[in-house]
Amino acid sequence: SQQGEEDPQALSIQEGENATMNCSYKTSINNLQWYRQNSGRGLVHLILIRSNEREKHSGRLRVTLDTSKKSSSLLITASRAADTASYFCATDRMRDAGGTSYGKLTFGQGTILTVHP
């Protein structure tokens, strides 16, 4: 079963607006990652946030992580038409209390973002 559930499934905004996507997960994690996928292409890594971090920034991207609520959000500020893509969260789940990883990522269903010029 999918670990990550993303919300909304689709988001349509105008250029210059901010876009916020949310991801919820079910089990303890080592880290959570956000990826972007343009139509018909592979995924591109955007940001990795570790379980002991609460917020990370990269350019116009801001990611937050709330481990008590098992949720994360990706904010894209001042969006551009070129930001149009699908965005996925992926979790590196913790196998045990010692933090051992399963050695694989579990992806959510994704949010389709459309930015209109």
Partner 1 sequence: DGGITQSPKYLFRKEGQNVTLSCEQNLNHDAMYWYRQDPGQGLRLIYYSQIVNDFQKGDIAEGYSVSREKKESFPLTVTSAQKNPTAFYLCASSFTPTGSNQPQHFGDGTRLSIL
Q: Which residues make up the interface to partner 1 (CB under 8 A)? A: 2, 4, 30-31, 33, 35, 40-45, 48, 50, 88, 90, 92, 100-110
* Closest CB to partner 1 among residues 72, 106: 106
State the minimum distance, in angstroms, from the CB of residue 75 to partner 1: 19
Closest approach of partner 1 to the CB of residue 69, in Å: 21
Residue 98, token pair as written in the block: 């010692």
Q: How far lies 17's CA from each of 32, 79, 111, 113, in Å?
A: 25, 6, 17, 12
Burial class (CB in 10 A: 0-12, 13-18, 19+), 23: buried
Closest distance of CB 38 from partner 1, Å: 10
